[in-house]
Amino acid sequence: MNPSTFDADPLRTHKKPIVSRFFALALRSLLATSAVAASPALAVAQSSPSSALVLDRARVIELARARSPEAVLSRARVDVVAAARAGTRAWSRDNPTVSVAAGPRLLNTGDWVADAIVAVSAPVDFSGVSGVRPRIVDAQVRIAELEAEVVALDAVAESLDLWIRCAAAHARAQLASEQRATLEQAVRFATARATHGIASGTEVPLAELARAQWAALEAEQRSQATSLERALVARLGLAPAQRVSIEGALDRGSLPPLEALLARIEQHPSLAVADARATLASRELELVRRTAWQPLRVSLAGGRENELYGRVGIDLSLPLFQRNEGPASVAQAQRTFANTERRSAFATREIALRQAYARWTSLDAAGAAIDEATRHADTVARLSARAFELGERDATTTIFSLREANNARRARVDWLESKALARLVIDRAIGAF
């Protein structure tokens, strides 16, 4: 404020430079904190070197899918399961056999003759299992792929949870830093007032206490933000020393109707996993029923037992005592369990979605009140600083007003964080990553 606008009051002449400097810094601090906390989107950026990796929401999703340790492991498991495809289309799992035998034979006449036998047998499978086994492996690969997608979605959700909390911690640290800077000016101004004997003896200690409190809060929030950053770096599979810059908006706008979100649960990979397991169980049951009849073995033998001879034979296993009842019963139970698992997975996600949607809706409805409180906080802080400049309010009341205004802005950060976390639960329930 221009000093020429003040009255030439001798009692306040010595206060003008100090008051003006404090008022100017206070207004700059208020504007800076307003830009952080009053923005509906809460666009938070950590000040860091240009070499720092920028982590916004899209980048976090990309890295979590590609580099998170659990996602990498699940993709490797898919390759292991897919390797079982080799050899599944063979005509038979049993190989042909060749038998050769030779030895002496004692005849009734007392003569010895040499005997030799050569036999060849080969399986002939008419059960059709050679076509079922590849489809079983295909179902197993499909399950592994869907499970890998579920793991990737969970890794993304956990990474975004860290990202949201880290962004909010940075915003709180920035608010605390601005408040601490304002209170440092308040300490200097209160000291000047006490020196001139126009302030009570408690103003300086109170201002110093407030400054120390906000300095401690700033250190706490920066420590929390750093801890969350390191956890996020590890979760994304980055190098431990990688510097990052947290950026992006926490508020992503409105949500679709609840009915539309509930319909999207059907598309979640966890439900597809249950469907694929039911399919696998059905194919395994088909295989068990087909393998109740063992492959037919056709044999061709020839030899010499003092005279030449030849034979053709057939070996057939009859399913009289063992018809694979146990494996068939297990396969049927597994199919029933897979269907139950699907219903359970849907119910679990529906409950989580409904709860998170109710919380998000209530938080969204409070947005108007939060905005109004922030506007009032700006007004109170501005008027308090003005009254302090004019000597109409003591430092104690001014410090209290500025602190309450900052607390209102901090409440807005808390509100945006809670709203973003509630939406994250909704996105996780429907797999919207």
pLDDT digits (tens, 9 = 90+) for 320-338: 777 778 888 898 999 999 9
**3-class DSSP assignment, residue 6:** coil
Under 8 Å between Cβ of 369 and 362: no
From 147-156, 182-191, 280-289, the region with the lowest mean pLDDT: 182-191
Name the percent of the chain in helix, strand, coil, to the closest 5.
65, 10, 25
Q: 70: which 2 tokens?
A: 């659990």
One-letter amino acid at 284 equals E
Q: Tell me how crowded residue 239 is: count the other CB atoms within 10 A of its CB.
A: 9
| Calpha distance 36→364 (Å, rounded) | 19
pLDDT the model gives residue 318: 75
Helices (H) and strands (E) in the chain, counts: 11, 6
Please check the confidence at residue 198 and state whether its pLDDT lies above 60. yes
pLDDT the model gives residue 107: 75
Please check the confidence at residue 165 and state whether its pLDDT lies above 70. yes
Q: Which CATH architecture has domain 3-430?
A: Up-down Bundle (1.20)
Between 385 and 118, residue with greater pLDDT:
118
Across-strand partners of 314? 298
Please check the confidence at residue 30 and state whether its pLDDT lies above 50. no
pLDDT the model gives residue 361: 96
Q: 430: which 2 tokens?
A: 């429907």
pLDDT, tens digit, for every residue of 48-76? 444 799 999 999 999 999 999 999 999 99
| Calpha distance 263→267 (Å, rounded) | 8
Q: How confident is the model at residue 385 (pLDDT cuts 50, 70, 90)?
A: low
DSSP string, 348-409: HHHHHHHHHHHHHHHHHHTHHHHHHHHHHHHHHHHHHHHHHHTTSS-HHHHHHHHHHHHHHH
Between 210 and 238, residue with greater pLDDT:
238
Please check the confidence at residue 387 and state whether its pLDDT lies above 90. no
User: Inter-axis angle of helices 325-365 and 269-290, to 10 degrees?
Assistant: 170
Q: Provide mean pLDDT across the span 356-385.
A: 89
**3-class DSSP assignment, residue 301:** strand
Q: Of the candidates 396, 403, 398, which has an alpha carbon nearest to the alpha carbon of residue 388? A: 398
pLDDT, tens digit, for every residue of 72-129? 999 999 999 999 888 777 777 778 888 888 888 777 787 887 888 888 888 877 777 7
| Calpha distance 392→377 (Å, rounded) | 19
| Calpha distance 63→79 (Å, rounded) | 21
pLDDT the model gives residue 108: 78
Q: Which of 90-104, 170-184, 233-247, 373-387 has the highest mean pLDDT?
A: 233-247
Across-strand partners of 98? 120
Q: Beta 308-315 vs 53-55: how paired, if at all? A: unpaired
Q: Provide mean pLDDT across the span 419-427.
A: 97
Burial status of residue 198 (CB atoms within 10 A of its CB: 0-12, 13-18, 19 or more): middle
DSSP string, 181-205: HHHHHHHHHHHHHHHTT-S-TTHHH
pLDDT the model gives residue 226: 96
pLDDT the model gives residue 181: 84
Domain definitions of the chain by residue range: 3-430
| Calpha distance 27→35 (Å, rounded) | 12
Please check the confidence at residue 304 and state whether its pLDDT lies above 90. no
Provide the mean pLDDT of the chain: 82
Q: Of the candidates 191, 188, 198, which has an alpha carbon nearest to the alpha carbon of residue 392? A: 198
| Calpha distance 79→77 (Å, rounded) | 5
pLDDT the model gives residue 344: 95
pLDDT the model gives residue 43: 43
Q: Which residues of 97-133 are buried (b: 16+ CB within 10 A; e: fewer)?
A: eeeeeeeeeeeeeeeeeeeebebebbbebebebeebb
pLDDT, tens digit, for every residue of 217-244? 999 999 999 999 999 999 999 999 999 9
Please check the confidence at residue 345 and state whether its pLDDT lies above 80. yes
Q: How confident is the model at residue 388 (pLDDT cuts 50, 70, 90)?
A: low
Q: In the chain, what is the straight-line distance between the N-terminal and C-terminal CA atoms, in Å?
A: 50
| Calpha distance 204→200 (Å, rounded) | 8
Under 8 Å between Cβ of 46 and 232: no
Q: How confident is the model at residue 391 (pLDDT cuts 50, 70, 90)?
A: low
pLDDT, tens digit, for every residue of 245-271? 999 999 998 999 999 999 999 999 999
Under 8 Å between Cβ of 131 and 120: no
Q: Provide mean pLDDT across the span 184-211.
A: 79
Please check the confidence at residue 303 and state whether its pLDDT lies above 60. yes
